Amino acid sequence: MLRQNRIPGRGSHDAGPRCCIARPAAQPEICRRRGKQSEKMKQTMEARRVSGLILAGGQGMRMGGQDKGWLELVGAPLVELTLARLRPQLANGELLISANRNLERYAALARALPDAPEFAGCGPLAGLEAGLAACAAPWLVAVPCDLPFLPADLASRLLAPLLRGEASLSAASCAGRQHPACMALSVELLEDLRAYLRAGGRKVREWQARVGALQIDFDDAPEAFRNLNTPDDLAAAEAYASQWRQS
């Protein structure tokens, strides 16, 4: 005869093994916590979304009136080279191009935005206004079309203090020289920019100072901000680009 050992302290009626059953009341609380965590993650991701803007609406006077974005460097248009440097930094964010001519050509690369009629002739800030007005993300990174050697971490370095809440706009500087057209900013600055333009303001640095811009040093990338304003500048950049692409 087989003998069944009884667990001490138990009656004969509950000698079998017991199962631990989770309290049903705990499940809704867990779901609520997970829901809050998921919502917080969504809000964080939304707050970090960024679009990119290429400023290509200038008149190119020092280039003989040519559309600078379509001038070629090492066999490719400057706008395409600049886009190729900026695109990977946007985490699939939308790309925009401020342009006032050759709109169909620019539209083949990204969404092309002419200056608003109200701000026509107001310079690069008019292009910035168009970009901010079209931007669907909380943040916008803007660069000129003639910066084909942009640092690979330009966007992240410009955005870092903004995401920490230290300012609403940051601009690049290198070796003590400011590069105001190379900036990151909040779309919430749109109305202030419009007010500045309507009051007759046209200077990029002046408006940036007005909104408390931060200057972000890129002293480790001196060649990234080479000026390409004249044919001689472009020729010098051609020589540098040949070496840069091989390095």
Q: State if pTM tops 0.75.
A: yes
Other Cβ atoms closer than 10 A to 88: 10
Mean pLDDT of 36-46: 48
Tokens (6 digits) for 133? 């007005």
> Nearest to residue 147, comparing CAs of 219, 88, 78?
78
| High-pLDDT (> 70) share of the chain, % | 78
Q: Distance between CA atoms of 89 and 199, rounded to whole angstroms?
A: 34
* Phi, psi (rounded to 5 degrees) for 184: -125, 140
pLDDT for 42-84, tens place per residue? Answer: 444 455 799 999 999 877 666 777 899 999 999 999 999 999 9
β-pair partners for 185? 140, 169
* Amino acid present at 88: P
Range of weakest confidence among 120-129, 220-229, 238-247? 238-247
